Structure 1
Amino acid sequence: MKKLIIIGGGASGFFLASNIHHSKWKTIILEQAKKPLQKLKISGGGRCNITHACFSPNKLVKYYPRGSKELVSVFNYFQPSDTFEWFLQKGVNLKIENDNRVFPESNSSQTIIDTFIQQTKKENIEIHYNSSVITIKKFKDKFEVITTDSSYYADTLVIATGSSMKMWKILNQLGHTIIPPVPSLFTFICNDPLLHNLQGISFPEAEIHISSIKIKEFGPLLITHWGLSGPAILKLSSWSARELYKMNYKFILRVNWISDTFDNAREELIREKEKHPKKSVYTLKIYNLTQRFWNNLLENLHIHDKNLADLSKKDINKIAESLTNTQLQISGKNIHKDEFVTAGGVDLKEVDFRTMQSKLIPNLFFAGEVLNIDALTGGFNFQACWSEAYIISQLLNSI
């Protein structure tokens, strides 16, 4: 019987092992941690955002800043609808939430972990914990995997270690090109006085823009105690991960809080002035802005308590400009909650995405974030793991 070693006891490794037939392969998972699937356990706030309800491969790949072209064929083979079916067959019901994120109905990542543990037991998969790989050697038709406490030999090797600097170094020594990793999916640190004491305030339709790299995003924006977060910020950080790294995460962010034009905002203010001239500017209610934000904005502009009738043309222009084009100095980044996503990894040009096999080393396969593939938040990174691992499993089961 042929031997298969899977390095990495995370999402990709366990999904692959759960689909390998023990009648075909003697399979071992090597995991350096004491417990399996720890990243999966904390994902989605402990609920496990298992995939995203996007059932068109051509639309699905648009959520991947790196790897979109290569993943078209992968998702045509195994996509979110197949993920639903696979877990349903294992007795796990999934649910689609309003934002199309998908979770187990139990709202617990432990449900998914238990499913994988049961499947690997069913397929007689050996799992070796506390097993840290030191090096990998390739002979004619065999791999030797040397760990801190033992050596293993395999006919086929799958790397599913996620973002591991140590494994990337080993793969580089074997001849693979590694795209240097940089953070992706992060929030922005900003200490501008405008944001002081506004944590928790959100803007459902904001536009953000970094002029220096000509990138824009649109969507919900959240003020936090350290700066800015929300889907718009996370999307922008993901798509521009490398550019922001080169800028050392210090740049000017332009924010349109209301997603309207300067001219429209100015006209709205003029109309309110004409309709309610005796009304205090602090009590003005426009664009569903919160009172705290509105007060901060006025104080930041040094427009003190005036009646609308007393607002000059210059005042009105300043308010309209601040609503539609606030310039904020970003001074750094923060990791987004429990998301740990990296842009970088094995160069995609060196992988055959029809099989997930290395183009340089026969019988060496890759799955998951060890590759230079990453996605937006919402279950997309996990879906890439399931799809890539499934392709490998079906190929190996057919040998």
Structure 2
Amino acid sequence: MAGRRVKVPLWSVAVVLAGIVVAVGWLLLDAAGELAERVGPILLFLVAITVVAEMCAAAGLFDAAASWAVRLARGSRLRLWGLVVLLACVCTIVLSLDTTAVLVTPVVLTLARRTGSRPLPFALTVLALANTASLLLPVSNLTNLLAAHRFARLEPGTSYTATMWLPALVVIAVTVLYLFVAHHRDLRGTFDAAAPATERDPVLLPLAALVTVALGVCFAVGLPVALVALAGAVLLLAVTLARRRDLVAPVGELVPWRTVLVVASLFVAVEAWQVHGLGDLLARFAGTGNRTGDLLQVAGAGAVAANAVNNLPAYLALEPAAAGDPARLAALLVGVNAGPLITPWASVATVLWWVQCSRHWMGFREVGWWPLVRQGLVLAPLAVVTGALAVAAVA
């Protein structure tokens, strides 16, 4: 009798490979310690903001937002889509692109079913904005958190938000315009759908809304993002347990430890590659200088690298070629944030989006990846080029 095939989890493979990299000396312990000091707060933020998002879902915040959108749309499918755009942008900017992929995707698919709308345009809107709307605040994307301290080390007066606000708004505007042009036929017409009455906790729902707003304010004014997110997560989890409300998952599953292990292993691998000359190789493709053509080049290199591997290792690998100049660093962020729209593995958010679509929309398995790739082949170059030109305009 043939033996059963044993499936090895991706996270365990990643951890073993990272351990080998350190054990054989490809990355020295001192360098690994410096890397841990830098990325530790970022991984803590990823854990904490995921718990915040799950607690908000358990409190009914996102369902309430969906019902709110149905009421405000007043039967107009186009108006409903505009509200989806707003929800995806706000969630991405304040709570990160991964949160949008995990929590907004099922809400939007539910909205599409409830209103008799075609699900694909709404799902693709969430995917696109989860990536391209992730430039405005450091917390919007893990790559931004990696870059924020680089901005702080540059000349006085340089800050992340002051440098990125215009490119971020330009990229969002271009994305929304493209999405409307690409999907306007599916956004025509009206619908007749009453929002279902659901029981919501009278304490948890307003608390979740208040915590979400407070987190956004704290992030915007520059408070330590990991500690702020951790405080919000602890508060929401404690109140949820105190009120004896059901969690969306067991406590141990609320923490995305598998994702954390994979991301941490990616950091180790890329840092080892950097030590052995990968940065020098990629620097040739990223070019030098901060003229318009130079900024387009570094943004394009970031987008290509993100689609080839993933935007996190792509940023780390190209950072040395851009970290000395705020304009080049901003252009690199445009490339690695707005560019990973073509390949399924280009960002963690894309992978998480696919998982949610598979869980909540069985028909997507028959659609496949082609709609994503087709949209990305047009939108990614548009977003990257216009974002880089916006960087050049304020450089």
Which has the larger helix fraction? 2
TM-score (norm 2): 0.24
Higher gyration radius (CA): 1
TM-score (norm 1): 0.24
Which has the larger strand fraction? 1
